[in-house]
Amino acid sequence: MSATRSTPFPWDEVMRVGLGVLKLSPDQFWAMTPREFAAAAGAFAQGAGPPGRSDLERMMQMFPDGKSDGRET
Residue 55 falls inside a structural domain: no
Residue-number span of the structural domain to which 18 is assigned: 11-44
Residue 36 falls inside a structural domain: yes
In this structure, of 41-45, 59-63, 65-69, the range with the lowest mean pLDDT score is 65-69
What is the per-residue pLDDT for 68? 63
CA-CA-CA-CA torsion sign (63, 64, 65, 67): negative
Residues 6 or more apart whose CB falls under 8 angstroms from that of 14 comprise 37
Residue 32 falls inside a structural domain: yes
Residue 35 falls inside a structural domain: yes
What is the per-residue pLDDT for 14? 93
Residue 22 falls inside a structural domain: yes
Q: Work out how many domains the chain is built from and give that number.
A: 1
CB 32 within 8 A of CB 24: yes
Give the model's confidence band at 70: pLDDT under 50 very low, under 70 low, under 90 confident, else very high: low
